[in-house]
Structure 1
Amino acid sequence: VSAASELAFIKEPNDVIAVRDRPLMLDCQVEGEGPISITWRRNGVPVETGRRAAVLANGTLLIRNFSKRRESNETDAGEYDCAAQNRYGMLISRKARVQLASLPKFLSHPQSVTVDEGGVARLTCQVNGIPEANITWQRDRRPLTTDDP
């Protein structure tokens, strides 16, 4: 077995945040002696190719319309990996976590407080979203900064 026959990844899939009803591509490019077959798994289960998903000639997985069906709670989100195989063996990529982008949802809102002059007021706010929300505060509709005492 020569070094040229060994499989090696040129590109492996990366963690990504996907947008509903948009295409998603996950990389899996391999070098080694051909023919090389590339297969994909989501959460350890082979990804079905056909109308919804395809493996491109370079090994990239294309999901044509990334989705989450509310009624059945089925989703394309999960952990993906690709496997490359030639006659000398198989190589499995790292796992890539694919999450569905979601709008931020407030878990808790700031509550009104009464504070003595010179006292400290603590206002809290919890937000959940993918990707993580960027939280900013305003006072009288003007941005507050941490530079402002």
Structure 2
Amino acid sequence: MCVSVQQDIYPTSYSFAVGIPDGFPQFLAQPKLKSVEKDKVTRLACEVKGNPKPKITWLKDKMPIDFMDPRLRQVENGYLEIKKANPSDEATYECVANNIHGTAYSYGAMIYVKVRRVAPKFIGELESVIEVTAQRELNLSCKAVGSPMPYVRWRQGSTYLTDEDDAPIGSNLLTLMSVVESKNYTCEASSELGNIEHQVAVIVKSE
């Protein structure tokens, strides 16, 4: 009587898989699921043995990785290094090992990129009252940080002194020419996470 046995398909890293020739690529370390913060560095493991020494390549979502991107490089033992991770790096990565005996594929490992989100916050010294002599020039500086970085604009009352389309990111220097009267000026820092304001009273000193 002839009995047919269904052979389970094991990852090629298992040395007991039936029919694997001596020297066939076998994985000693494989990439694992990772979560990395945006703009940080991460590495995916890939160590392989075989005879002759297998050539290592990497796939991203089943496509060969473009190492023309300076953020990506293959380092010692075939590891994949990603510098300054960004959301476009979110994908499934596979390490591929090849020699004259054949090709082995690692497990697929997903990379998740965490984008740190921080509401706007003013930095540096922010004065609330500034006295100035009449007809003098005055610079008002305002800086803010956050993630994403906020737009910074000045306004006087409800009138913006910085065009919305040209609002700088992170800092804004307002130059007042020939100040002749006392007024209040407001620095506004805004992002998708909210708005903050700081008011400066410019007081013209009497002679």
Q: Normalized against structure 1, the TM-score is what?
A: 0.60
Q: By how many angstroms is 1:2 displaced? A: 8.7
What does residue 142 of structure 1 align with?
Answer: none
> Does the alignment pair 1:67 with 2:111?
no
Aligned residues: 98
The amino acid of 2:85's aligned partner reads F
Larger Rg: 2
What does residue 104 of structure 2 align with?
Answer: 91
What does residue 58 of structure 1 align with?
Answer: 77
Q: Which runs of 5+ in 2 are unaligned?
A: 1-18, 118-207
Partners of 1:34 and 1:28 in 2: CA distance: 17
Q: Normalized against structure 2, the TM-score is what?
A: 0.44
Q: What do you get for the CA RMSD once the two structures are aligned?
A: 2.0
Q: 1:4 to 1:57 in 2, by over 3 A?
A: farther
- 1:19-59 per-position Cα deviation (integer Å, ceiling 9, x unaligned): 11111100011011123111111111111114121111301
Structure 1 residues 120-131: aligned runs within 5 Å: none
> Which one has the bigger strand percentage?
2
**Larger RCO: 1 or 2 (CA < 8 Å, sep 6+):** 1
Partners of 1:2 and 1:77 in 2: CA distance: 33
Structure 1 residues 1-149: aligned runs within 5 Å: 4-50=22-68, 51-68=70-87, 75-102=88-115
- Partner of 1:100, secondary structure, is strand
Q: Which runs of 5+ in 1 are unaligned?
A: 69-74, 105-149
Partners of 1:33 and 1:23 in 2: CA distance: 32
